[in-house]
Each structure stands twice: as structure tokens, then as C-alpha cells.
């Protein structure tokens, strides 16, 4: 079980490898601390294009265009961003997109900031109401298999999927003066 601490540093790297293996090309994102290592990896990659967004719904529309143009993508965002996407998630059903999003969770597991809790508590329900299958990874040693399963069902079966990366996995944000 002590190996867990060692693998903790590398789960974003494992996600990056999975995205590479599935030939993901466009990676729209709104920054989140929990995604920072993966975003850096994407921005340094020659095969993927990291695309900074002003709001998460832009990423849903971008991925529709990418798919029409023959490329796969993945949307990286924080749980609060899911709320920003709601109407645009219509495109996922309408176009039957191979939609994959990786959502870092706030508003749970030791949260300090109450403003994160309403959206964090409803993230999974909102995604499911929008017709998106939800998977969750809470421990470093399960990230690889959960993200791999999510990518496989999204890209191979056009089954829209969100993988929630728990705050327990990422660590609650520490607010200090």
C-alpha cells in the first residue's frame, strides 16, 4: 500500500499517456489546480494542442467541430465548469459525439470554501441528466483504469463520458492568509 504515495505523483502522467494512446489531438481547458500537471504536459506535447478557454461551454462546441474535422479531444475542467456547460451539452446528444471530459472535483472531501459546495454536490447529477455517463476515481491507483475505461467507451462506443477526479485524490485546497 505504500506504493500508493509513489504513484500519487504520476497519475496525471498516466492520464497523459492514455490520451496519447487514444490519439487525442485537441485539449480544451479552463485551468484548475488539480489539472495543472496534465495541462503543462499537454502544452508541451507535439501531438496535442492545449486550447485555453474563457468558459467551459466553449470546449463542448470546440469538440463538436474537432470531431466533424476528424479529430478526438478531451475537455479538462473543474466541477463548477460543468454548470457552465449545460445547454451546450445538447450538442453531445445531437451529434452523438465521442465526448470525454475529465472533471476535477471541488466542494467535497474537506472543502474549505462553501461556495464550491452547491455545484460540487450536483456535478454528477447534472452530467447524468445531460445524458453523460459518469465514472469516478478517488485513489491514485485507480486513475489509470478508470480514465482508460472512460476513454475507451467514449471514443470506441460514442458513449459520452465524464470522469470525476475526486477532491480526495487531488487534495483539498488549502487557504492560508
Partner 1 sequence: MSKANLLDRRAVVSELLRDRKGAFAVGGLGASTYDIAAAGDHDRNFYLWGGMGGAVMIGLGLALAQPTLPVVVITGDGEMLMGMGSLATVALQQPKNLSMIVLDNEAYGETGGQASHTGGTADLAGVAKACGIADSRAISTMAEVEAFASSLQDVTTGPRFASAKIDGTNLERVLSSRDGTYIVNRIRGSIGHTPI
Which helix (H) or strand (E) covers residue 128, if one does?
helix 117-129
User: What is d(CA 57, CA 164) in angstroms, rounded to the nearest whole number?
Assistant: 17
CB of 94 to partner 1, least distance (A): 4
Q: Which of 9, 68, 117, 129 binds partner 1 (CB under 8 A)?
A: 68
Cα(29)–Cα(31) distance, rounded to whole angstroms? 6
DSSP reduced 3-state for 133: strand
Q: Which is nearer to partner 1, 77 or 91 (CB)?
A: 91
Nearer to partner 1, 8 or 86 (CB): 86
Look at strands 133-137 and 100-104 and give their pairing.
unpaired
Beta strands in 54-123 (DSSP E): 72-73, 75-78, 100-104
Does 154 bind partner 1 (CB under 8 A)? Our answer is no
Question: In the window 99-138, what residues touch partner 1 (CB under 8 A)?
Answer: none
Give min distance, CB of 13 to partner 1, in A. Answer: 25
47, 90, 113, 121: residue in contact with partner 1 (rule CB under 8 A): 90
Q: Are residues 155 and 72 in contact, defined by beta-carbon separation less than 8 angstroms?
A: yes
When asked if residue 63 is in the footprint of partner 1 (CB under 8 A), the reply is: yes
Q: Which of 38, 48, 64, 102 binds partner 1 (CB under 8 A)?
A: 64
Pick the stretch among 61-69, 112-120, 125-133, 160-168 that binds partner 1 (CB under 8 A).
Answer: 61-69
Under 8 Å CB-to-CB from 144, ≥6 apart: which residues?
A: 11, 14, 15, 18
Among all chains, which residue has been given the C-alpha cell 466553449? 58
Q: Which is nearer to partner 1, 31 or 171 (CB)?
A: 31
Positions that interact with partner 1 (CB under 8 A): 25-26, 49, 51-55, 57-71, 73, 87-88, 90-91, 94-96, 98, 156-158
Amino acid at each position: 500500500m505504500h506504493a500508493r504515495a509513489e504513484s500519487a505523483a504520476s497519475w496525471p502522467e498516466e492520464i497523459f499517456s492514455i490520451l496519447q494512446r487514444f490519439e487525442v489531438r485537441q485539449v480544451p481547458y479552463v485551468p484548475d489546480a488539480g489539472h495543472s500537471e496534465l495541462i503543462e504536459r499537454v502544452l508541451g506535447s507535439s501531438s496535442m494542442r492545449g486550447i485555453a478557454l474563457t468558459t467551459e461551454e466553449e470546449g463542448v462546441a470546440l469538440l463538436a467541430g474537432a470531431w466533424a474535422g476528424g479529430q478526438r479531444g478531451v475537455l479538462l475542467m473543474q466541477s463548477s465548469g460543468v454548470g457552465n456547460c449545460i445547454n451546450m451539452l445538447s450538442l453531445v446528444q445531437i451529434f452523438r459525439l465521442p465526448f470525454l471530459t475529465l472533471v476535477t472535483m471541488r466542494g467535497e472531501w474537506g472543502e474549505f470554501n462553501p461556495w464550491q459546495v452547491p455545484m460540487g454536490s450536483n456535478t454528477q447529477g447534472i452530467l447524468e441528466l445531460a445524458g453523460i455517463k459518469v465514472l469516478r476515481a478517488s485513489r491514485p491507483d485507480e486513475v489509470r483504469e478508470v480514465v482508460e475505461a472512460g476513454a475507451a467507451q467514449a471514443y470506441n462506443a460514442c458513449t459520452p463520458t465524464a470522469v470525476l477526479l475526486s477532491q480526495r485524490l487531488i487534495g483539498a485546497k488549502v487557504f492560508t492568509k
